Each structure stands twice: as C-alpha cells, then as structure tokens.
Structure 1
Amino acid sequence: MLLCALLAAALPLLPFLPAAEAAAGELSAAPRQVAAPAVFRQVAVPAAPRQAAAPGPTVSLSRAEGGKGGEITVSGAKWKPGALLMLLICGQAEPGKGVIGGTNSCANTVGRAATVDAKGGFSRKVPVAEPPVPCPCVVHVAGVTGAQDAVDVAFTVAGHPTAPLPEASGDGRLAVLASARLDGSSGVLVWFGAPPAREIVFTVGNLGRSAVKDPVFQVGTSHGVFSPTYEERQWRGTVEPGRKALVRLPVELSAGAHGDYQVSVKYAGKVLVEQPWGVGRPWGVTLFWLLLAVVVPAALFRIGMAVVDRVRPGPGAGHRRARTTPVRRPPARRTPARTAADAGRAPAGPVPGRDDTTTVLPWFTPDSAPSENSPTTKGHS
C-alpha cells in the first residue's frame, strides 16, 4: 500500500525530469556567466569625424614665366586681414624648401609691398627682375607684421642661369658643443651712427648618422620685449657624422642702433645659440648736432655783421658826398697890398687892375661904413 502511494505521487513529475537533468549537466560542466547590469555595460561610441585642418594662405601668379623688364600680377587669399606682405623674386629656392640664403638671394630692389584687405586677399603687380643667384626661382610672399606666414610659388625667369640646389642634409643632427661668442669691433663710423656688425662664433657637432652639407641657419636679433626677426644664413662646409666644426655667421643691426640686444641662432626649427649684445650709444651723432647748433648761429651772425658793415655808411661819408658834388663860387676879388710910399699920396685916378670897391659888411649901410681917414670916436676922457 505504501509503494502504491509513492508511485501515485511521482507520476505528475515525470515530464519535468529531462529538463532538470539537462540543467544539472550544464551547471556541472561550466559555470554560467551572469549578464552584467545595463549600467556597467561598455557601449562603443562611434568616433566623431575629424575636421580637416583649415588650409593656410595661398598665392597665385598671372603667369609662370617672364623675362627681365616684364611684369606679373601676384594675388593671394586666406591671409590675415590687414597684414603687411613683402613680395620678392628669389633664386636658389623651391616651394616647400624655403629660400637658401634668405633675402640675400632675392631681387630686393624691385620688391613690392601689399596690404591684405578685409576679406583676406590681395593683388599686386611685381616687375620681373633677375635675382643675384641662379634659379630655380620662386615668388616669395612673406608677412612682415602679425603672423609671419610665408608662401613660395615656382616662377621661371627667362634667360637667367640655373644651378642645382645644395644636397639635403639627410639624417644629420647638429648640436652646439661650446658656448658662443661675438667677434669683431666697432669702427669710427659706428660712433657716428653706422650699422654695428659682428660675427657670432660657435662650435657644432654632428650627432646624426649622415653628413650635413652647407647647413642653413637662421640668425635673428631682438631688442627689449620684441621677438627676434630671423634671416637665413648659409654656412659653407660639411660636418661629417661624429665630427665638429667652427661656425661663423655675420650679424648686423640697423643704423643708429644702441642698447641691449639678443642674438639667436636657429637650425631645423630649434634654437641653438642665444648671446647678449650690448651696443653703445652713437655719441658722435650727438656731438655733431651740438656743434651744428653752435656753428650755424655763429656763422649766420658773422654773415649778418658783414652785410651790415657793407651797407651802412662809414665815418666822413657826408664830407665825401659834399666834396663829390662841386659848388661853384665866384672868384674872390683881391686888393693888392699898399706900400708905404703909396700911403702918403692920394691916387690921381683909378689904377688899372686895381679894385677900389670897399666891401661893406652886412650890418653896416654904405653911408655909415667906416673909412680909413675918419677919426675914431672915443668917449669923454
């Protein structure tokens, strides 16, 4: 009876036995991974599309070739509004490689300046001239104020000689091995305002794996809080890997410069050397202006006095004028002197050649004029 009761209770559970055995087998084979809550799931977020960098300023030419004496139109866009630009035709240069030798390789005498308008564009006519170095040539457009961007556009100067550019420096790396110094001295003309000039001297070593041939350095000078203005200077020579070389580069300031300056040298975008330079005041210019302020008034005073002495009359000028104008007077009538013999006798008549007219003084009348024979009237004695 007990067995029958157990069978009757187990009959309803028979359909669920296979599912239970399968579940038990899975649990025993490997632990089941429980899904993490939604707040801890890592959601892959698609990356935002990168915005393309805004292109820099551009320059276009009216034609790609021209001869000496011709003219081309240089136009640009996307420049900083209001910027002042310098337009030059340069040799020994290619777009993307810069101008070897800096502005010394350009036809500076026929360069032009242009001002960017409010829309970032400009247009300027530039005369075609032959640069002082061989081609390949470019039209070099560089900013003078503000962001000093530079763009080079290939240009062919017809009839101008062409020479290959210096070989690339390769993997060479230059580093300064010793402190720099400034060589040179100021002459007498510098004391009167001539441009001061020096040579910055430093030793470099090649830390790379290939030789560096004819490296181009950038030399800049700054005064006070102003940033340095760099110019390219090419050093002629080759620095072999593991070797060192002494480099001398010229440095020149503007006329009349004085005060504390800073000389900087860059190579491959890195500052290698910074050297202070104290320039004395050109006292000769000050002395010149002081002498000018004294000499000029003194010279004007002497000239004025000479003119006055020349114009004004001297002493006795009235008498000279009187003598200059002759005055005609009647001839004086002279009475011959009488002798003692003639005094005792009266003349019998008029004597020829003798003037017996008695001169009458103006305060006497002819009747009251005294005579020689009239007695002298005296008072009572």
Structure 2
Amino acid sequence: MRAVDLIIKKRNGAQLSTEEIQWLIKGYTDGSVPDYQMAAWAMAVVLKGMDDRETTDLTLAMAASGDQLDLSDFAPAAVDKHSTGGVGDKTSLVLGPMLAAVGLQVAKMSGRGLGFSGGTLDKLEAIPNMRIDLSEAEFRHAMRDIGMVIMGQTADLAPADKKLYALRDVTGTVECIPLIAASIMSKKLAAGAKSIVLDVKVGAGAFMKTLDQARDLAQTMVRIGQLSGRNVAAILSSMEQPLGLTIGNALEVREAIETLQGHGPSDLIEVCLTLGSHLLVLAGKAQNLDAARQQLQATLDNGQAWAKFREFVAQQGGDLAAVDQPESLPIAPIQIDLLAESSGFVQRIDAETCGIVATELGAGRARKEDAIDPAVGLVLKRKVGEPVQAGEALLTVHAANNERAEIALAALKSAISISPAAVEALPLVFESVA
C-alpha cells in the first residue's frame, strides 16, 4: 500500500477498507507515514467524511496502537464516564463515588485540562499528596479494594491518537465529527471499561455550540462503542452557563465535597444522577432509569458516597485531613466581588467568558507546560433565572493578586446580563442517545 493512494481514494469520496485504515494508522504511529501525508488524509476526511464502519475501524486502530488495558480478570464489568469538556464540570469527583457506593467498579483514566480551567487530574491534585500516577499493581488493588480509580493516562495509551490530535490542531482539521469521535473513543476503548456513558456538552462554554452538532457527535460515539462490543449511552447537557457554582481546582473540590455531603447545587446533582442512571442500566445494576436514580440518590442521602470518596482519597495517598476540613485546601489571597449594577433577574452567564477568565487567573492552562494555581478561580453567587438586587454580588473572583483580580472583573462585566423581567431557568439535560 501507499499513503498517497489512500489520500486520493478518500479525497474522491470512496470508503477505505479495514486493512487500509489499519495500515495507515500503523504507519503513522511508527513514522513510515509522514506528517504531511497524514495531514492531507485528515483534510480529505474533513471534506468527504467517513461512514460508521470506517470511523469504528479508525477508532480500533488507534486504540490498538499502544497499551490496551485488560480488566477481565479483576473488573470485567468496569464502567467509565467521559465529558466533552465544560466550565465548572466536576462531575467525575461526585459521580465516581456514587457509582462505587452502589457496587460498580469505576475505572477512569483522565487527562489534564487544556483550556477552560483544570481537568479532573488538576482538581484532584489540589488535595495535598494525592497521587494520580499509579502502577498496575496499585490500580488492581484499588479496583478490588474500593471499586474506584481515577488516574492519569499512561504514555502508551492510544499513542496514534495523541500524535494525530497534535497534527489536527495545527492543520485546521479539528472540527470533524468522525475524527473527534474516534479520538475520544479510542482512549475509552483502550482503557478497558465495558460500559461507558458520555456527557456531550452543548452551548457557549462547549466545543459543540449547537444541539445538532452535539447530537451528531453523540450518535457517532455511541455507534462506535456498540460496534466495538461496548455498552454506550450519551446525554446532551447544557453548557450555556457554568455547571455548579465554582470554577477553579480547589474551589471545585470543595463544591464536590459539599455535594457528596448532601449540600451541593441542584444542577450538578442532576447531571450526576442522569449520567449515573444510564450507567447503572447499561451495567445491568438497575432495570430502568427511575430505579437507578433512586439507588444513586440514596448514596448521597445515607452518606455512602461521601464515605467512598474518603476511601478513594486515602487509597491514592491524599490527605484526609484536608478533605475533612476543606477550608484548609488552597485559598486565593485576593477575593473581590462583581456587584450587580441594577436589580432584576440574571438573564445570561456566558460560560465561555467565565472559562477564559478563570484560565487567565491561573486555574487552567493555555499550553501544556503552563502551571496551575489550585487556589484561583470564580464562585458564582447567582445562576440564570435567579433574582438579584443592585449592589449584591453576582460572583466572587479568587485571584493571586489585585492586578489579576481587576482584569478579571473588567472582563466579566460583559459576561453577565440582568433583565428587569423574570427569566426562566435554563434547560439542563436536553436528551439522551443510546
């Protein structure tokens, strides 16, 4: 085979065979297919698309390009959850313990955040001494002992995807549903979970800005999973405003702790219950979504999810004293409120702007080598639809110094608008795909 022939074939709108896709990915991984040819092929895919079989073959080829975890001997029914990203999204910290508390084994490999605030690993590392790099023996022990692991992806997990993603980022080929879906699902399949739920975000603070785009991505990923022999479902959830009230790593850990203790914001709880219910049904732990929701809600009400979170933190070396006294987690030295200039109802909180500001404060990273400040971020005091009086706080900026705080306040003034008339709360979960 020759790469140029496969480029021409896809450019002309023809389907590539399973063998051709496997050959291409193997060649790109070992370097025999150069970047310039892979970039040309990726652009051909952007222009001509791929069908479900091709997309699944691409996913499996990238998953097979490196390590593939075999959980069959100690966690054959392991579950996983993936979010396409969002602002204030700390669902993994809450949902993982809830699922483990009802007897599921949660095997989650996460990446670090690049863009809006930190990723799940960055949030966890706000807890002193928390370890996210585990050996295989430690991984197995944790799965058997407490039924939950959240750890960093191994360097050899889907290396073809890592290489192709970096190439797409600089060649204008990121926005392509088959390539996005294959990228996400190759890592999920390589990580070994049997049942997977996908949280596809929609709106200003999400990669997918419209419901049609999000639905297309969700349907493609679900079909890939099913064709690969996995149990997969997806929900489409709103990211017009941040999820919960906090944006920033230690701030989000505190909110997750409050939620596990039964005092969390309603939107965060709802997303966790919705995602978790689908996973329980997929894994055969509940006959329907209503029964699954009752099981999961009970773990918050009876303290089992909180107890499981403490076990998880202890298992991975985290400081339990900091978890039990979350006020001891990192705190920013400067805290300044953004005040409402008029009375009325919150009409809009632009999630994208909030995410960008939090990143500029140091809660996220624009480049992989950027350092994270676990203490900084934003705390919302109102959500869309809620009343506010002139002079009351809309949010609080947590910053490392006054200069950064003032820059953040100036940027956030245009992110929140107030209406004199009553405003309906935003929808949270639009639909599910299974």
Decide which structure has greater strand share.
Answer: 1
Decide which structure has greater helix share.
Answer: 2
- With CA pairs under 8 Å and 6+ residues apart, which has the higher RCO, 1 or 2? 2
TM-score when normalising by structure 2:
0.20
- Structure of larger gyration radius: 1
